[in-house]
Amino acid sequence: MALKEVSNILNNKPVTGNKGKAKGKGKSKSRTKKSTASPENDPAVPTRTDETPLITVGIHNNNASSTTKETETTNAVVAPDTSDDTKATKDNEDAHNPDTLAVPAKDNIDGLTNVFGKISLVQVPSNVRKVYKIIRNCTGSIGGNGAGGAIYGELTVGSMQKVVDVMKDKLEFTARSRFIDVGCGLAKPNMHVVQDPGVEFSYGIELNKERWFLGLHNLNNVLKAARDEKEGGDGETIGYRCMLAHGDIVEAKSFDPFTHVYMFDIGFPPHLFDTLAKMFKRSKSKYLICYHSPRIMIDRYGFEIELICKEATSMHGSSEGHTCYFYKRIGCEYDANPSIDKTRCDPLFSGALKLVQSGLDELADSVEEQFVEEMGAG
């Protein structure tokens, strides 16, 4: 996909591609049997013990509305972890349709019954929802298949919030943290963590130019919204300390100055894992978050890490799911979030760090200039 085609996407024009037609002599007929199940006799349907008003939301339904002002209650439907390294699948799609499940209103959040451990409540902060709305308006219709095919999966907002919540609870993830996403794609995780917990520096690097360009388009509009809020005197509720790069992570010698290394590594080639393991060993980064089990990360590729916990996640626009693994560097007892002034920085990341530290206005101007330049080049 060329940048000109990406421009067509951003202007809501269709992208041409290979189309196949199913061939067959006869027509197959399928009949759907009408279900007579009700919440009273169907064990897969959440039950309530009171008459709490219900609102319907779903992490796959980005257009769902909420009556709450500060946080949105989101029901993450998570499939069982059937294997360490294979996709998890939903075993009862009709009963656990994320677009139709009913969730109690915010003030009665404890009223939802957790059925077989497959439904969990996730509080999505208001500024996170605001940023995802901006991203949805920019590139949301593209989903995970905007460039490069289905391997570029993207977590639902509810699943990403679950990952962030685990990091805050168990991995010392705070506003003092510095976050890198290896293979950042459209940069949703990067802009998510800038809002919650509001990290000091969020950096994404993407090898595919089209996906990086779409991420830059998202970032450009988020920064515009942050600047509008600042100029409007409403306070900087949208975080901005984020920068994206089109490049190859192997050009770096280490992950410094990042405290938390995140990568949706499904589909990474084996030789890249070997390089990443050496980079992590040379770094001071304390935590690693990825989607491969200890058998792969430790036994096969030699990462010097230990498993803290794992969490099932769901993918945007499909029933696909992957397990997220949370690791800690072996024998690491030092502060996870040392001061940036006392931390070395790999040359590959130094320019982006200085730009983020320069403030919102200079960062926004630089990103917009870069975006316009790439649009013209396309």
CA angle 230, 235, 239 (to 5 degrees): 75
Burial of 70 (C-beta count, 10 Å sphere; 0-12/13-18/19+): exposed
Taking the CA atoms of 311, 246, 359 and 279 in sequence, report the sign of the dihedral they define: positive
Q: pLDDT at position 235, please?
A: 61
* Residue 237 confidence class, pLDDT cut points 50, 70, 90: confident
- State the chain's mean pLDDT as an integer: 76
The phi, psi pair for 238, rounded to 5°, reads -95, 120
Residues of the chain with pLDDT > 70, as a percent, come to 63
Mean pLDDT for the stretch of residues 141-160: 62
Burial 113-125 (b: 16+ CB within 10 A, else e): eebeebbbebbbb
Pairing of strands 321-329, 287-290: antiparallel
**Length in residues, the chain:** 378
- Please tell me the distance from the alpha carbon of residue 334 to that of residue 32, in angstroms, as a whole number: 59
Taking the CA atoms of 368, 371, 377 and 378 in sequence, report the sign of the dihedral they define: negative
Bond preceding residue 98 cis, omega within 30 of 0: no
Q: pLDDT at position 366, please?
A: 98
Q: pLDDT at position 32, please?
A: 44
* Residue 140 confidence class, pLDDT cut points 50, 70, 90: low
Q: pLDDT at position 2, please?
A: 59
- Tell me the residue ranges of DSSP E strands in the chain: 54-56, 71-77, 102-104, 119-125, 178-182, 201-206, 242-246, 260-262, 287-290, 305-314, 321-329
Between 71 and 5, residue with greater pLDDT: 5
Q: pLDDT at position 11, please?
A: 60
Residues 6 or more apart whose Cβ sits within 8 Å of residue 164:
173, 192, 193, 196, 197
Bond preceding residue 197 cis, omega within 30 of 0: yes
Evaluate whether 11 touches 218 at the Cβ level (below 8 Å): no
Please report how many Cα atoms fall inside a 13 Å half-sphere around the Cα of residue 17, on the Cβ side.
13
Other beta carbons less than 10 A from residue 14's beta carbon: 8
Query: pLDDT by residue (tens digit) across 167-217?
Result: 999 999 999 999 999 999 999 999 999 999 999 999 999 999 999 999 999
The phi, psi pair for 112, rounded to 5°, reads -80, 135
* Residue 231 confidence class, pLDDT cut points 50, 70, 90: confident
CA angle 353, 270, 211 (to 5 degrees): 45
* Residue 230 confidence class, pLDDT cut points 50, 70, 90: confident
Q: pLDDT at position 3, please?
A: 60
Q: pLDDT at position 254, please?
A: 98
